[in-house]
Amino acid sequence: MSADTANDKRALRAELRERRRTLTSTERATAASAITAHLESLTSSLGVTSIAAYLSTPDEPSTREFLRWACDSGIRVLLPISREDGLLDWAPYDGSDEDEDLLGMPTPTTGVLGPIAINSVDLIVVPAASVDRSGMRMGWGRGYFDKTLGSMERCPPVYAVIFDNEFVDSVPSEVHDQRVNGVVTPSGITALPVS
């Protein structure tokens, strides 16, 4: 990895974190409502019966109402649990209890299924710091989702959930960074050309 790219990513992540922290509760609630509606629409249009997603943290665009809707609609939901080796385990989510993994990320309290459980889903919804118009996703720097997506033999559609101002013309990237098929923002759903 070039030092310049690493520095560019670090600077951009810091700027994006700060932008997210300064959103008002009204802006967050409006964004959450719109994102929920778009995620429900995307899931319905794809005829999804199982998804891999994540429980959003307070600074992230909210996925929680969408996950409740998915559970209530009979869609199988798998959520990630970070492992020390940099891989993700997956566990079913039923909308009830949650815990925290070793990174402090919210996780379900159900039994762990292991890394390959994600191979059976129809849609993957991932967090991101930013996504560019070519589909390149920049995460928060730990590489968990890049490793997961890069190791899948048959990857279903992958959509990142971000705020509107995080969908940009270009993001700094490295060889291991994975592209997504689209983004879901408060403004809508955008499918992207994945090469």
Examine the pLDDT at 195 and tell me if it is beyond 70. no
Examine the pLDDT at 148 and tell me if it is beyond 90. no
For residue range 22-43, what is the model confidence (pLDDT) as tens digits?
A: 999 999 999 999 999 999 999 9
User: 122 pLDDT band (50/70/90 cuts)?
Assistant: very high
How much is the pTM?
0.91
Residues 133-154 have a mean pLDDT of 86
Q: Report the alpha-carbon distance of residue 120 to residue 66 in Å, rounded.
A: 20
Examine the pLDDT at 179 and tell me if it is beyond 80. yes
Total number of residues shown for the chain: 195
Average pLDDT of every residue of the chain: 90
State the pLDDT at residue 67.
95
Residues 4-12 have a mean pLDDT of 82
Answer yes or no: are the C-beta atoms of 25 and 194 closer than 8 Å: no
Answer yes or no: are the C-beta atoms of 88 and 81 closer than 8 Å: yes
Which of the 8 DSSP states describes residue 125? E
Q: Report the alpha-carbon distance of residue 61 to residue 48 in Å, rounded.
A: 21
Q: What is the extent of the structural domain holding 33? A: 3-191
CATH for 136: 3.40.50.10420
Whether the CA torsion 186, 63, 45, 162 is positive or negative: it is positive
E strands, 26-181, are 50-52, 76-82, 88-92, 98-100, 106-108, 123-127, 130-132, 137-138, 158-161, 167-168
User: 143 pLDDT band (50/70/90 cuts)?
Assistant: confident
Residues 140-145 have a mean pLDDT of 80
Residues 13-21 have a mean pLDDT of 90
User: 2 pLDDT band (50/70/90 cuts)?
Assistant: low
Q: Are strands 98-100 and 88-92 parallel, antiparallel or unpaired?
A: unpaired
The CA angle 179-109-21, to the nearest 5 degrees, is 55
Number of domains in the chain: 1
For residue range 48-102, what is the model confidence (pLDDT) as tens digits?
A: 999 999 999 889 999 999 999 999 999 999 999 988 888 899 999 987 777 777 7
State the pLDDT at residue 77.
96
Examine the pLDDT at 108 and tell me if it is beyond 90. no
